Amino acid sequence: MLGNIVGMSGVSEMGIANFDAFYRSNGSFYGDRPALSLMYFLDKFDVRGGGQGLDLACGQGRNAFYLASRGFSMYGVDESSEAVSRMGELADQRRLSVCGKVVNLADLEIEPQSYRIIVAYTALDHLDAAAGERLAQSMMAGLEPGGYLFAAVFMVDDPGCSGRGGDVSETAAYVRHYYRPGELREQFSALAPLAYQEEYALDISHGRPHHHSMARLFACKQAA
């Protein structure tokens, strides 16, 4: 139900036209493979499919499609109309339960206790700190009891922030808030953390090979 998502006015100042150009020139800009860490955490903690899922900053849908293949009914939201359009085309081709809508993440509100799983893979860091905190609170409220959250963000020692450590991602200019060590875990401290990691690693999923410093959190909303 896309009715679970409200507050979708306007577009952000992130340069969505440029992101549209990235997606327009490549039908699979970030590749088709879902985030390996998401796959690993779902298997490690034996997360079964079923129920509603929400993918924030979904891009062309690589994580949403994977979750749909595991039995979730997925809704992807992104600020790029090109990305959402491509995701819709692929969902029809693959006959997966994935719907999408163009939204402004800075204004997004999520209906409370509506989703079994919420994914935000490099979404919160594309907002300023205050807007990211508002979205994080809405994400936690949007989980149903027993629901799962997976979030990943870029950190302050990422080459896109520090200018050190090798080639920089071609989309680094759109990151608005690089996270400090431990900040992501603290932001979702109201949830029960199942796994948390920080790492500096090579990324070959798009553009020229480059490095990222990332934090990832997999957490659960405890049942009342």
pLDDT tens string for the chain (224 positions)? 444 544 333 333 444 446 665 666 555 555 578 999 999 999 999 999 999 999 999 988 999 999 999 999 999 999 888 889 889 988 999 999 999 999 999 989 899 999 999 999 999 999 999 999 999 999 999 999 999 999 999 999 878 776 555 566 666 677 889 999 999 999 999 999 999 999 887 665 655 666 678 999 999 999 86
Q: Give the burial string for 99-136 (b: 16+ CB within 10 Å, else e).
A: bbebbbbbbbbbeeebbbbbbbbbbbbbbeeebbebbb
What pTM value is reported for the model? 0.84
User: How many CB atoms lie under 10 A from the CB of residue 39?
Assistant: 14
Report d(CA 131, CA 218) in Å as an integer: 21
d(CA 148, CA 7) in angstroms, rounded, equals: 23
pLDDT given for residue 121 in this prediction: 94
